[in-house]
A = this chain, B = another copy of it.
Amino acid sequence: MTRPLRVALLGCGVVGSSVVRLLNEQSTDLEHRIGVPVEVAGIAVRRPALRREVDVDPALLTTDAHALVTRDDVDIVVEVIGGIEPARSLLLAAFGAGKPVVTANKALLATDGATIHDAAAAAGVDLYFEASVAGGIPLLRPLKESLAGERISKVLGIVNGTTNFILTRMDETGAGFAEALDEATALGYAEADPSADIEGFDAAAKAAILASIAFHSRVTVADVHREGIVDVTAADIASAKAMGRTVKLLAICERSASGVSVRVHPAMIPLTHPLASVRDAFNAVFVEGDSVGQLMFYGRGAGGLPTASAVLGDVVAVARNLRSGSRGAGESSYASLTPLPMGDVRTSYHVNLDVADKAGVLAAVATAFADNDVSIGTVRQEGHGDDATLVLVTHTAADEALRRTVEVLRSLDAVRAVTSVMRVEG
């Protein structure tokens, strides 16, 4: 193949505009790296008249995305629309027409990845999706390709910049959640409707994709236990600080003898953990492997240009494969590990209790833990008289046992209030 490679772009918002800009700006480099020039064959948009962040030849714009992806002069389809439909139908149409796809669509892959992967495999064409998780950070291909000789045991990541910005501000200023969210919105870090971020949906989709790759299994967003950060309080953050910890929203994928647990929830991690210093809207993903030990990948997880950079890296890979008549590594799901329910996950809790400072309180509290087979790691009592606070950190136990213990604690006469309950990781 010596003629130019032609890309159909679906979507021309923040990421799409950046893809167009980079394709133009780096055309010489891209031609050297691929061996032939890359051209934009067409751009499917809903509103052609909309003013965009990049100059686009109006002749390239079309509202008929379906016609574009199946056009004979299109070699590669790049999808940056997001969401389930019409993205899914368009990808299936592209595969049906034998076109390889580069996509940034985490929601689609995490919700109905099987359909998409199967269609790519049936068509015998590439499906690349580096941009779907952690934006510009090279992560999915390193996991899939560089670490192909590794047995990965755990992936622990900060994969949502909005929530990390909010938690960073709460940690730095002592602000409550609502106040920090307002600041994030004002600065453009949170969208007008922030629920996908703050309720953990975005991170859960990414966790499903990460787990699928790391463990060679099919994990969907329905398998992911999800808790957002809306209930994280200034008191939680202060309590973490007092223990030399900080609070992060973590995506956690863990392999055990019985299957994989995949979950998204806020957790306290020690300040000495490499993820603790990941601040503001940065992302970082920690990977543990049996041979390689601990790895971390750090960078900007969102934004037009970083995400477009990941898309372009995938375009170069697909283009090289097309030219050599080969395909990259497809989906690998041979291990078929079982997703475990959250209740079975082994975890550890940090619990703050407001208690009366009188004889027997600690005994009553300790009994509640013991009755549920949860072993206490450390107890610290702060204050005296009416204002006593007990801070307990448990050893690891089944999450369900910890949940039940906290329920019992809430019902104890000696406990005035359970003021903070949070899992501990790292």
Contacts and interface: CB of A to CB of B under 8 A. Distances in A.
Interface in A77-96: none
Contact of A148 (B137, B284, B313): B313
A300 interface: yes
Contacts of A18: 291
Interface string A82-112: 0000000000000000000000000000000
Given A30-B149, A149-B315, A298 B295 contact: yes
A274 B268 CA distance: 21
A325 interface: yes
Interface stretch (A39-47, A244-252, A326-334, A415-423): A326-334
A298 B296 contact: yes
A91 to B, nearest CB: 21
A147 interface: yes
B149 A138 contact: no
Given A146-B130, A300-B294, A320 B329 contact: yes
Interface in A125-141: 130, 136-138, 141
A22 interface: yes
A316 interface: yes
A293 B316 CA distance: 19
B292 A309 contact: yes
Interface residues of A, number: 58
A317 interface: yes
Given A30-B149, A274-B298, A325-B326, A291 B316 contact: no
Contacts of A314: 149
A145 interface: yes
B295 A22 contact: no
A138 to B, nearest CB: 3
Contacts of A308: 149, 291
Nearest to A19: B149
Interface of A: 18, 22, 26, 29-30, 32-33, 130, 136-138, 141-142, 145-151, 216, 274, 277, 284, 289, 291-300, 303, 305-306, 308-317, 320-321, 324-327, 329, 332, 334-335
Given A136-B295, A148-B316, A295-B299, 12 more contacts: A33-B332, A136-B289, A137-B292, A149-B309, A274-B277, A291-B312, A292-B300, A292-B306, A292-B310, A293-B299, A293-B303, A296-B296
